[in-house]
Structure 1
Amino acid sequence: MGPFGFDYRLVAPEKLLSLDDYRREAKRRLPKMVWSYVDGGADDHVTISDNREAFGRWSFRTRVLAGHAARDLSVKAAGVTLDLPIILGPTGFAGLSYWRGDIAALKAAERHGTRYAVSTVSSWSIEEIARESGVDHFFQLYPQSGELAASLMRRAWNAGQKTMFVTVDVPVRGNREGERKHGMGIPPVLTPRRLLNVARHPKWALDVLLHQRIGGRSLATTGGVTGAIESIEIQSRELMQSTLDWDDLAWMRDKWKGNLYIKGVLDPEDATRAVDLGLDGVVVSNHGGRQLDFTPATLDVLPDIADAVGDRAEVLMDGGVRRGSDVVKALALGADAVLIGRPYLYGLAVNGEDGVAHVLDILREEIDTTLALMGVGSVAELDRSWIVPRASAAAQSQNTSAFRDQTV
């Protein structure tokens, strides 16, 4: 903070009007090797692109003179009422974006009346996060039926995290060539060129040196690069196992007495099987395009999964959300709420807690504006009658033009 209370980390307000603005600024703030981790994905990034493009295949139905003085954006998820239909999803090593990562994100979530999902490889431990929390947040775990998983579940429960997301789409790590090309391997590979790039980001480098918050502190207690490598090795060895099956998920359902969601579902049959096991909800997710490239866009498979289990369980989704209008489309297609990941990491990189809060401010305003222009008074009113496939919208426009030509 500089003289007169001006924060020199901030750019001019008119430069940060959208999440894309935050993305560009975050890219400028972070070293290349860190940016490749935050924003990259598997193989050719086809799924990343498809996640975004899927939202462009829908148009809104609008009704005028609706008479709504204000819009209600609240939803209920995991047994709690959220003031905003957005949950901050689990992202590992958030401390790479900003040293207070997880703490800053949960504080911003609380400012907006929503929740943060604590990653297994959070940069602050489960217990540290609990001490900073004003409300009970959520917990994310990779499926494993051994003592490490049982220990993490006990710790999360004792810390007040009564809702758990089980991430099931990481039996092995995806092929993230971009990370490896920029040295984000295990261990990281630092060349003179990469060290020079880090040196060009002195604020980031100083935070890493002073605070050592780049590893998974719930798995490794040491800080810095050593702790990061240790936590990644533990995660890969203990919590990413291709032999895991539905019996392991059933074991977790038996052990976990709170709300339990399966995260990483893209098929209605898998969603149905999970709900049949007694899970409370599903998260339609392709891991943000970071695992298997050419998986379907989450918005494309959302309606079928909502049809399959939406009457028995909550349906959440993530992937590609960059506008408030995207959130509205997801809710109309059957989601009870959405999760975001990269967008709040951008906010962390630009301005810590306030950056995340501003990202949520932008989304809140965009959701509210979208509903007002549609003539919708509450997100609870949203269903598929409020959106139209753009091909149908284009055909309707052509029919209108043809009718006009005939009547002239």
Structure 2
Amino acid sequence: MSTPNRGPGRARQESVYRAGVFGRTPAVPTDFATLEARAEKASSATAWAYVAGGAGEGRTMRRNRAAFDSWSIVPRMAHGNTTRDLSVDLLGTTLPAPVLLAPIGAGALMSPDSDVKIARGAAAHGVTYVFSNQGCNPMEECAAAMGDSPRWVQLYWSTDEDLVDSMIARAEAIGAGALVVTLDTTLLGWRPMDLNLGSLPFSQGIGIAQYTSDPRFTEIVRERIANAPKQASEVTLGAIRTLISMTRNHPGSFGANLRSPEPRAAVETFLDIYSNPGLSWEHLATLRERTRLPVVLKGILHPDDARKAFDSGVDAIVVSNHGGRQVDNAIASLDALVTIREAVGADPTVLLDSGIRTGADVFTALALGADAVLLGRPYMYGLALAGEQGVAEVVANVIAELDLTMALSGTADLAAITRDLLVRDSAR
């Protein structure tokens, strides 16, 4: 896979340093703190609140990072390895690295055509992109942008079962490698940064493209329009701006949409049915009859839920607290990973989401039992700074640092990244 002493880490370093000879620097910073700071400057207040914000007092977000900081890598010397194999087999597909791009909704807050740009950035490195159910481009457009590169599709379980089936059918039609059912967002968490601005992107028509491109959803919207009583609306400058945003983000021409009740009805319908607060294991048990795709459950934090998931026949789980965006003061995903891996054993496929910032973080997660990780906010910050190129560079940087961490720690492949290469901070 690599020539001696040269893998993605050295290749990335060399490309940056060669460009530096001509006075060119990377499109995005190579350290997370600078990346985050520059992305905040490049983003609107509402965009930053939605993407960077967390639940409540932000304790879960801080805990996610503290969990990584509580483990130290212990490199091994004189190992003689000159090449690394970063590839991993996940659900029947061999991937070039154990890094996937997590589903993040309303990406157009950061950059127009966000999901297509993310798809292309992921495809540049052959990594899997999990299309967001709350995306700003239909999954069909994203799949076309990725070519043969792997893609999974996220599913939020709607209160309309026919819409659930329609989304699943579309995921199958675009060649998704898995269906990722997110369990932890049956209701939106308490998110003060958004609340303080009175800002919910979906109410502006941002992040509902999977719905407005869906035939079943369109049918529901038209039924709503046909049965809705006429009612007067309060006219304010904010209401006018909202109407313009709804109109601009709805499929079709701006002029036609402005004269149509569909954009507003679509937003209202989405807010009514997008997620099912009553989602249960009984719902999930029906998936084997509804799809041929591998099923991944995202949002597992308790070992009993992990056991139940695998006992029910799912193919994988994602240990995740939704990036700290749903429950304040929740357990760190990395801490949950340790107990879950101990509970389910070595064989089941377990991924980790929430708190991943660097290649060294990926190494730590793999050593503690993750088969792969999902990267979230960092690639969104790259998107904010440099669009498709920004996403691609963030992915390249994380994979490069993972490769170099492996090289400097004496691990030739992912199987060699084991827990005995870590020690825990005794002060924790």
Interval containing the TM-score (normalised by the shorter chain): 0.7 to 0.9
How far, CA to CA, are the matches of 1:15 and 1:348 in structure 2? 9
Flag the 1:183–1:97 CA change in 2: closer, same or farther, 3 A: same
How far, CA to CA, are the matches of 2:327 and 2:114 in structure 1? 26
SS of the residue corresponding to residue 13 of structure 1 reads: coil
Q: Give yes or no for the alignment of 1:76 onto 2:89.
A: yes
- Larger CA deviation: 131-140 vs 233-242: 233-242
- Larger CA deviation: 320-329 vs 72-81: 72-81
User: Aligned-pair distance for 1:188?
Assistant: 6.3
Give 1:30's match in structure 2, choosing from 43, 58, 75: 43
Matched AA of 2:154:
Q
Q: 1:23-43 CA distances to partner (integer Å, 9 max, x unpaired)?
A: 111111111111100100111
Task: Give 1:406's aligned residue.
Answer: none
User: Aligned-pair distance for 1:217?
Assistant: 1.0
SS of the residue corresponding to residue 391 of structure 1 reads: coil
How far, CA to CA, are the matches of 2:288 and 2:35 in structure 1? 38
Task: Give 2:295's aligned residue.
Answer: 260
Matched AA of 2:106:
F
Matched AA of 1:297:
A
Show structure 1 runs of 5+ residues with no match.
Answer: 1-5, 190-212, 395-408
SS of the residue corresponding to residue 114 of structure 1 reads: coil
Task: Give 2:163's aligned residue.
Answer: 148
User: Aligned-pair distance for 1:22?
Assistant: 1.7
User: Aligned-pair distance for 1:215?
Assistant: 3.2
User: Aligned-pair distance for 1:307?
Assistant: 2.2
User: Aligned-pair distance for 1:311?
Assistant: 3.6
User: Aligned-pair distance for 1:284?
Assistant: 0.1
Matched AA of 1:170:
T
How far, CA to CA, are the matches of 2:138 and 2:27 in structure 1? 36
Mapped contact 1:286–1:295 kept (Cα < 8 A): yes
Q: What's the RMSD between the two structures over aligned residues?
A: 2.5
How far, CA to CA, are the matches of 1:153 and 1:275 in structure 2? 21
Task: Give 1:313's aligned residue.
Answer: 348
Matched AA of 1:251:
T
Task: Give 1:114's aligned residue.
Answer: 127
SS of the residue corresponding to residue 92 of structure 1 reads: coil
Matched AA of 1:238:
I
Q: Give yes or no for the alignment of 1:96 onto 2:109.
A: yes
- Larger CA deviation: 222-231 vs 233-242: 222-231
Task: Give 2:246's aligned residue.
Answer: 225
Task: Give 1:216's aligned residue.
Answer: 208
TM-score, structure 1 length as denominator? Answer: 0.83
Show structure 2 runs of 5+ residues with no match.
Answer: 1-18, 219-243, 251-263
How far, CA to CA, are the matches of 1:230 and 1:389 in structure 2? 53
Matched AA of 2:423:
V
- Larger CA deviation: 13-22 vs 327-336: 13-22
How far, CA to CA, are the matches of 2:24 and 2:270 in structure 1? 37
How far, CA to CA, are the matches of 1:143 and 1:238 in structure 2? 9
Task: Give 1:164's aligned residue.
Answer: 179
Flag the 1:233–1:161 CA change in 2: closer, same or farther, 3 A: farther
Task: Give 1:361's aligned residue.
Answer: 396
Mapped contact 2:72–2:423 kept (Cα < 8 A): yes
* Count of matched residue positions in the alignment of Structure 1 and Structure 2: 362
Mapped contact 2:28–2:394 kept (Cα < 8 A): no
User: Aligned-pair distance for 1:341?
Assistant: 1.2
- Larger CA deviation: 347-356 vs 138-147: 138-147
TM-score, structure 2 length as denominator? Answer: 0.79
Task: Give 2:386's aligned residue.
Answer: 351
